Amino acid sequence: MPPVRPLLNPNTLAQFVDPLPILDVARSTEFRPSPLDPAVRLPYYRFAMRQIESKVHRDIKPTRFWGFGSSSPGPTIETRSGQGVLVEWANELPTAHFLPIDHSIHGAESDKPDVRAVIHLHGAKAPPESDGYPENWSVPGKSAVYHYPNNQDATMLWYHDHTLGINRLNVVAGLLGVFLVRDPVEDSLNLPSGKHEIPLVIYDRMFDEQGQLYYPVSGDPRTPWVPEFFGDAILVNGKLFPHLEVEARRYRFRVLNGANGRFFHLSLSSGQTFHQIGTDQGLLPAPVSLDHVLLAPSERADLIVDFSDHAGEQIVVKNDAFTVMQFRVARNKAKDTSSLPSALRPVPRISESEATNTRTLSLVEIDDRAQRPITMLLNGAHWKMPVTENPALNSVEIWNLVNLTDDSHPIHLHLVRFQILDRRRFEPFFYKNEGVLKYTGAPVPPDPNEAGWKDTVRADPGMVTRIIVRFEGFAGRYVWHCHILEHEDNEMMRPYDVVAAR
């Protein structure tokens, strides 16, 4: 066992001394033929995964990260709906990992190279060969060119590592970034844009006293995996306690929970309300007024915050008791020609009568005799077992996510967008023993800010969460999983097949 290094206590640091980094927007360097039609040429980006150093705080020495080019989060890719792009994900990482690999976990056995990476574009309607299947990893010196057709509505996607068995470590190391899709509906709304539209990528980390990333280990050196990771340092766009100078006007913040396991519950110290205008897969039908927003790992919130009544104030973004960042509002009221329309984008409900199949899928935690979790499973199945979820292309299905654990699990399906039907309390012991769902409460509709297109849903403990999904876009092999990365890495992920009609 390596000794536990002395850890940094973020509460000893000065707050709001660093400006919030504004993520760079990537530029494509060339055009290359589309794999679908060589006459069409698509913007081509090369993203090199590299070991870099970056300062997370004025008073912390540079931290080693794995980023894209020279940053973590990597540069933002911006494109338009229907405008395909090609991205070369090049693994230029060193050959040794700096975080603790658990070789007892599927896909991370000692015969596998320590450093492997495969990038998935979360929320993309991408062909299977470009989806970043967890077993399609590349070693240092290799790369993969992926095609993203982007035939989907405007929204905020994000790219991140998805390597089988070490995904949690590669993401903590820094392999993540933002991908924005825009479209004419969004254009027509006159939302705050340009320097008044800012992605905020929020995640928690742990640092040692030398300013290096620390990832915890279990007490057993043969199985260092821990069931969850919660850091005490919350970074926004890669900085700890940043501040942002804002004008006294409306802003649009594209917020991503990029944490491995932490749920964020964000509010403003001014007590002011703000509006959520979009969720994972795009705009909501209408703005939802909130005084806090709950984001599970990988969920996104498209927020409008109006500072016009707060000129001269300093407003802190809080995550419950934690301090996240600060807004410094300019003294003078600014001119603001943007709008917050009362109607955004219709979200036609998928009718339950369209569903041709309903699957009941349990979320299970397996504990050892000391009640320590040793693995997490979807419907009792391991990654390597034969595919059991095989919806037909273009069919609609209802998935009942039956949570038999004590925790909330953010469940994500690749390729598709879906709607939440409801959540309903049930009797877990009766289900475990009899295999029958006995409901003990009435169905609870999704929260107003969840009532749009989603790709990740909180499956809360003691509840059956029902989602309705149209499996459209491509046939082929994808995955669905819990987005708590420690769970996903330890079996809470399954392959699924979208099956083309024969």
Sign of torsion over alpha carbons 142, 110, 363, 409: negative
Taking the least distance from each CB to Cu ion, the nearer of 31 and 230 is 230
Q: In sequence order, which residues have a C-beta less than 8 Å from that of residue 293 and are 6 or more positions away?
A: 255, 264, 265, 266, 267, 274, 276, 301, 303, 449
Looking at residues 404 to 433 of the shown chain, list those that interact with ligand C2O (rule: CB under 6 A). 412, 414
Q: From CA 468, how far away is CA 472, in angstroms rounded?
A: 13
Contact criterion met (CB below 8 Å) for 316 and 326: yes
Taking the least distance from each CB to Cu ion, the nearer of 458 and 487 is 487
Q: If we measure between CA atoms, which residue out of 170, 200, 17 comes closest to residue 98?
A: 170
The least CB distance from residue 413 to ligand C2O, in Å, is 9
Taking the least distance from each CB to ligand C2O, the nearer of 214 and 480 is 480
Q: Reduced to 3 states, what is the DSSP secondary structure of residue 1?
A: coil
Q: Reduced to 3 states, what is the DSSP secondary structure of residue 25?
A: strand
> Binding partner of residue 147 among Cu ion, ligand C2O, none, CB under 5 to 8 Å per kind?
none
- Residue 370 φ then ψ, to 5°: -90, 15
> Binding partner of residue 301 among Cu ion, ligand C2O, none, CB under 5 to 8 Å per kind?
none
Residues paired with residue 482 on neighbouring β-strands, in sequence order: 411
Contacts 24+ apart (CB under 8 A), 130-134: 131/414, 131/415, 131/478, 132/162, 133/162, 133/477, 133/478, 133/479, 134/107, 134/162, 134/163, 134/164, 134/167, 134/479, 134/493
The least CB distance from residue 456 to Cu ion, in Å, is 8
Q: Beta strands 176-182 and 74-80: pairing type?
A: parallel
Taking the least distance from each CB to ligand C2O, the nearer of 205 and 310 is 205
Q: From CA 148, how far away is CA 91, in angstroms rounded?
A: 19
The least CB distance from residue 153 to ligand C2O, in Å, is 18
Question: How many residues sit in the footprint of ligand C2O (CB under 6 A)?
Answer: 10
| 3-state DSSP percent of the chain in helix, strand and coil, to 5 | 10, 45, 50
Residues paired with residue 46 on neighbouring β-strands, in sequence order: 88
Among the listed residues 57, 125, 147, 162, the single contact to ligand C2O using CB under 6 A: 162
Contact criterion met (CB below 8 Å) for 88 and 47: yes
Taking the least distance from each CB to ligand C2O, the nearer of 158 and 214 is 158
The least CB distance from residue 476 to ligand C2O, in Å, is 15
Taking the least distance from each CB to ligand C2O, the nearer of 310 and 412 is 412
**In a 10 Å sphere around its CB, with 0-12 CB exposed, 13-18 middle and 19+ buried, how is residue 321 labelled?**
exposed
Q: Alpha helix (H) ranges present in 183-303?
A: 184-188
Taking the least distance from each CB to Cu ion, the nearer of 264 and 307 is 264
> Binding partner of residue 484 among ligand C2O, Cu ion, none, CB under 5 to 8 Å per kind?
Cu ion
Among the listed residues 50, 57, 122, 125, the single contact to ligand C2O using CB under 6 A: 122
Taking the least distance from each CB to ligand C2O, the nearer of 97 and 120 is 120
Q: From CA 393, how far away is CA 386, in angstroms rounded?
A: 19
> Binding partner of residue 234 among ligand C2O, Cu ion, none, CB under 5 to 8 Å per kind?
none
Q: Is 260 in the site for ligand C2O (CB under 6 A)?
A: no
The least CB distance from residue 40 to ligand C2O, in Å, is 28
Sketch the per residue contact string, 32 through 71, with ligand C2O: x for CB under 6 A, - otherwise.
----------------------------------------
Q: Is 254 in the site for ligand C2O (CB under 6 A)?
A: no
The least CB distance from residue 101 to ligand C2O, in Å, is 20
Q: In sequence order, which residues have a C-beta less than 8 Å from that of residue 423 and are 6 or more positions away?
A: 443, 444, 446, 460, 463, 464, 465, 466
Contact criterion met (CB below 8 Å) for 347 and 284: yes
Taking the least distance from each CB to ligand C2O, the nearer of 181 and 315 is 181
> Binding partner of residue 293 among Cu ion, ligand C2O, none, CB under 5 to 8 Å per kind?
none
Looking at residues 442 to 481 of the shown chain, list those that interact with ligand C2O (rule: CB under 6 A). 479, 481
Taking the least distance from each CB to Cu ion, the nearer of 186 and 365 is 365
Residue nearest to ligand C2O (CB): 122
> Binding partner of residue 243 among Cu ion, ligand C2O, none, CB under 5 to 8 Å per kind?
none
State the residue for tokens 């897969």: 281
The residues binding Cu ion (CB under 5 A) are: 122, 409, 414, 482, 484, 487
Among the listed residues 71, 260, 279, 298, the single contact to ligand C2O using CB under 6 A: 298
> Binding partner of residue 481 among ligand C2O, Cu ion, none, CB under 5 to 8 Å per kind?
ligand C2O
Q: Is 120 in the site for ligand C2O (CB under 6 A)?
A: yes
* List of residues contacting ligand C2O (CB under 6 A): 120, 122, 160, 162, 298, 412, 414, 479, 481, 483
